[in-house]
Amino acid sequence: MTNTNAKNWDNYWQGRASQQSGNALIEVGIERNHELKKFWTKVFSNEVKSTKVIDFACGAGSVLEHANNLGFSDLSGLDVSEKALEVMSQKIAGAKTICAPVNLTGLESEAYDLAVSQFGIEYAGDKDSLFKAFKEIYRTLRFGGKIVIIAHTTDGVIMEGCLASLKQINLIKESGFIERSQQVFTALKEPSEKTNGEAFYELTQKLNDTAQPIMEWLKSYPELEAEKTKNEFMRFAYHLLESSHRLITHHTNYSETDALNWFEGMKEELEAYKGRMLSMTKAALSSQDISDLKEKLAAEYGPSKLDFEELKTLHFNSNTKPAAWVIRASKP
Ligand SMILES: C[S@@+](CC[C@H](N)C(=O)[O-])C[C@H]1O[C@@H](n2cnc3c(N)ncnc32)[C@H](O)[C@@H]1O
C-alpha cells in the first residue's frame, strides 16, 4: 500500500464531493444500485440492531448507509482515504471513522460482530496484502461474528465494462483530440491572418479527423440517449466533444488561460479514470484466487477457525453474467 494509492483515492472522493467537471466522471452508480441495496438490506435485516458493524474500505459509506437507514447505530468505516471518510461522516452522523489500510488497521481485536466490504477489501494490493487484510478481519471479529463481502470478479459484467472503458480511453488518448483542440483554440486567439490561411484550414481538418473515431464509437450505440445516462464514460466523452466544440466556436467568450486549463483538466481526468479502471481490473478476484486465500487462511488458523460458506455470485438486472462475488464466512 503506497501513499500514492491513498492520494489517488483522496482525489477521486474529493472530485465526487465537489461535483467537478460537469458531473461527468464522478458517479460510479454504486450508491443507487438496486441489487446491491436489496442485498445489503437483506443482510442487515437478519441482524439485531445492536450489532457492531465494521466496513472495510468503506469509501463514502454506501454500505453503512443501508444499515443506518435500518436503525443500526454502532457503525464503523475504515478506508485509506480521509476524503471518503469525511463524506461518509456528513452522511451518517455518529459513524466512527478509521483512516488506515485494510491490511494494517490498528483496530482493537475481537471488537466487531459483523465485518462487511463492498468492492473494497480486494483493493488491499497484492495477494499477500489481501491475505493480511483477511487476517485483520479475522482478528478484529469476535467469536461468533460474521463476514459478508461483495468483491470484483475477473469474469463478470463490471470487468467487461472496465475493459471496454480502457479501450475507449485509449481511443480518445491516441486520437490526439484534446491536443488538437488546444492547438485550434490557441490559433484562434492569435492575429487573424493566422486563422485565415491554409495552415489553419489544415489544423481544423486534423481536428475533425481526430474527433471522427470518438464520434463513430458514440454513434455505434443504438440507444445513445439511454446509454449516455447509464454509462459514465460515455457521458464524459460527450461532455468532452460538446464543450470543446463550444469553446472553439465561441472562443471570444473564453480566456485562453481558462480554456487551456480546462483542456488540461480533461486530460488529467482521463488519466485518473484510466488509473481507476486499471486498479479495478487488478483488484478483481478469480475463483482460484479465493480458493488459494481460503487455503492459506486454513493453514494459518486451522480449517475450522474460519468457516466459509459456498462461494456465490451477485447478478445485476437478471444478467446471466455475474457482477460480483459474494463471500460469506463466520468465526465460530
Ligand atoms: C471501489 S471503492 C468502494 C467504496 C465503498 N466500499 C463502496 O462500495 O462505495 C474502493 C475503496 O477502497 C479504498 N481503498 C483502496 N485501497 C485501500 C487500502 N489499501 N486500504 C483501505 N482502503 C482502500 C478506496 O479509498 C475506496 O474508497
Give the residue whose CA is nearest to atom 8 of ligand 1.
118
More confident residue, 21 or 44: 44
- d(C-alpha 14, C-alpha 164), whole Å: 25
Residue 245 has pLDDT above 70, yes or no: yes
Q: Are residues 297 and 257 in the same domain?
A: no
Q: Are residues 288 and 146 in the same domain?
A: yes
Domain-located, residue 22: no
Q: What is the mean pLDDT of residues 276-297?
A: 95
Q: Which residues line ligand 1 (CB under 6 A)?
A: 1, 5, 9, 30, 57-59, 62-63, 79-81, 84, 101-102, 118-120, 123-125
Domain-located, residue 113: yes
What percent of the chain clears pLDDT 70, i.e. is strictly above it? 91
Give the residue whose CA is nearest to atom 10 of ligand 1.
120
- d(C-alpha 29, C-alpha 36), whole Å: 10
Q: What is the mean pLDDT of residues 56-60?
A: 95
Q: Are residues 49 and 191 in the same domain?
A: no
CA of 55 to the centre of ligand 1 (A): 10
Residue 260 has pLDDT above 90, yes or no: yes
Q: Rounded to the nearest 5°, which phi and psi values hold at 108?
A: -65, 145
Q: Are residues 250 and 291 in the same domain?
A: no
pLDDT at 190: 81
Distances (CA, A) of 201 to 32, 184, 243: 47, 10, 21
Domain-located, residue 75: yes
Residue 14 has pLDDT above 90, yes or no: no
Q: Which of 11-20, 39-48, 265-274 has the highest mean pLDDT?
A: 39-48
Domain-located, residue 5: no
Asked if residue 13 lies in contact with residue 84, where contact means CB atoms within 8 angstroms, the answer is yes
pLDDT at 23: 35
Torsion angle (degrees, nearest 10) of CA 6, 54, 119, 42: -160
Q: Are residues 209 and 194 in the same domain?
A: yes
CA of 2 to the centre of ligand 1 (A): 13
CA of 58 to the centre of ligand 1 (A): 6
pLDDT at 37: 93
pLDDT at 191: 67
Instruction: Examine the fold and report which residue of 241, 264, 280 is the final residue of a domain before the chain moves on.
Output: 280
Residue 27 has pLDDT above 60, yes or no: no
pLDDT at 224: 73
Q: Are residues 44 and 150 in the same domain?
A: yes
Distances (CA, A) of 317 to 33, 39, 224, 229, 321: 10, 13, 19, 16, 10
pLDDT at 194: 63
User: Given ligand 1 and candidates 9, 117, 282, which is best to mutate, with the most ligand atoms within 8 Å of its CB?
Assistant: 9
Q: Are residues 267 and 304 in the same domain?
A: no
Q: Are residues 274 and 303 in the same domain?
A: no
- d(C-alpha 311, C-alpha 295), whole Å: 14
Atom of ligand 1 nearest to the CA of 117: 6
pLDDT at 189: 86
Confidence of residue 1 (pLDDT cuts 50, 70, 90): very low
Domain-located, residue 213: yes
Residue 2 has pLDDT above 80, yes or no: no
Q: Which of 3-12, 132-141, 248-257, 281-290 has the lowest mean pLDDT?
A: 3-12
Q: Are residues 225 and 314 in the same domain?
A: no
Domain-located, residue 19: no
Asked if residue 146 lies in contact with residue 115, where contact means CB atoms within 8 angstroms, the answer is yes
Q: Are residues 141 and 57 in the same domain?
A: yes
H helices of 253-302, where? Answer: 256-283, 287-301
Residue 158 has pLDDT above 60, yes or no: yes
pLDDT at 30: 60
Asked if residue 77 lies in contact with residue 58, where contact means CB atoms within 8 angstroms, the answer is yes
Q: Which three cell numbers stand for residue 193?
A: 491572418
Q: Are residues 125 and 112 in the same domain?
A: yes
Instruction: Report the sign of the C-alpha dihedral through residues 220, 222, 227, 231, in that order.
Output: negative
Give the residue whose CA is nearest to atom 6 of ligand 1.
58
* Number of domain units in the chain: 2
What is this structure's pTM? Answer: 0.88
Atom of ligand 1 nearest to the CA of 55: 6
Q: Which of 5-19, 179-193, 231-245 has the lowest mean pLDDT?
A: 5-19
Asked if residue 216 lies in contact with residue 168, where contact means CB atoms within 8 angstroms, the answer is no
Instruction: Report the sign of the C-alpha dihedral through residues 82, 84, 89, 95, in that order.
Output: negative
Q: What is the mean pLDDT of residues 109-128?
A: 97
Residue 22 has pLDDT above 50, yes or no: no
Q: Are residues 186 and 106 in the same domain?
A: no
Domain-located, residue 24: no
pLDDT at 47: 98
Atom of ligand 1 nearest to the CA of 101: 20
- d(C-alpha 153, C-alpha 164), whole Å: 16
- d(C-alpha 161, C-alpha 279), whole Å: 13
Domain-located, residue 47: yes
Residue 303: how many CA atoms within 13 Å on its side-chain side?
2
pLDDT at 21: 38
Per DSSP, 125 falls in state S
How confident is the model over 186-232, as pLDDT tens digits? 988 886 666 677 888 888 999 999 999 999 998 888 777 766 666 77
CA of 296 to the centre of ligand 1 (A): 23
Residue 162 has pLDDT above 60, yes or no: yes
Instruction: Examine the fold and report which residue of 264, 280, 296 is the final residue of a domain before the chain moves on.
Output: 280
Atom of ligand 1 nearest to the CA of 12: 25
User: Given ligand 1 and candidates 123, 140, 149, 276, which is best to mutate, with the most ligand atoms within 8 Å of its CB?
Assistant: 123
Domain that holds residue 241: 157-280
More confident residue, 236 or 142: 142
CA of 308 to the centre of ligand 1 (A): 23
Asked if residue 52 lies in contact with residue 74, where contact means CB atoms within 8 angstroms, the answer is yes
CATH number at residue 109: 3.40.50.150
Give the residue whose CA is nearest to atom 13 of ligand 1.
57
